Amino acid sequence: MVSLNLLFLLTTIGVIIIFFGKLKSLDSSLNKERLKSEMILCEKLELDKQILNYKKELDHIKVKNDTLEVLFTSANIKLNLQEKELQRLSRIKKKNI
């Protein structure tokens, strides 16, 4: 009976040692995964920041493009008016010659 109790005690101690070893291993794995997760989160936040900056730059470029588009249209209208005036003056000159 005593030897059975001793065997049971040793087996229980062995199981407890194995259990705590696995628990430490799992804890270590969990910490590694947490670290990976935090690194991924940091990378994601940095990428989100970059995306916001790119969006701001793109919006700025769009506004600039719209302004340049207005200037181009205005210059084009003035050029067309000057060309028509030049053609008119050229016709008048030809009639006078």
Full 3-state SS string of the chain = CHHHHHHHHHHHHHHHHHHHHHHHHHHHHHHHHHHHHHHHHHHHHHHHHHHHHHHHHHHHHHHHHHHHHHHHHHHHHHHHHHHHHHHHHHHHHHHHC
* Cut 0.75: pTM above it: no
User: The tokens of 76 are what?
Assistant: 């084009």
Lowest mean pLDDT among 5-9, 30-34, 61-65, 71-75: 5-9
Residue 97 pLDDT > 80, yes or no?
Answer: no
Mean pLDDT of all residues belonging to the chain: 94
Radius of gyration over alpha carbons of the chain, in Å? Answer: 41
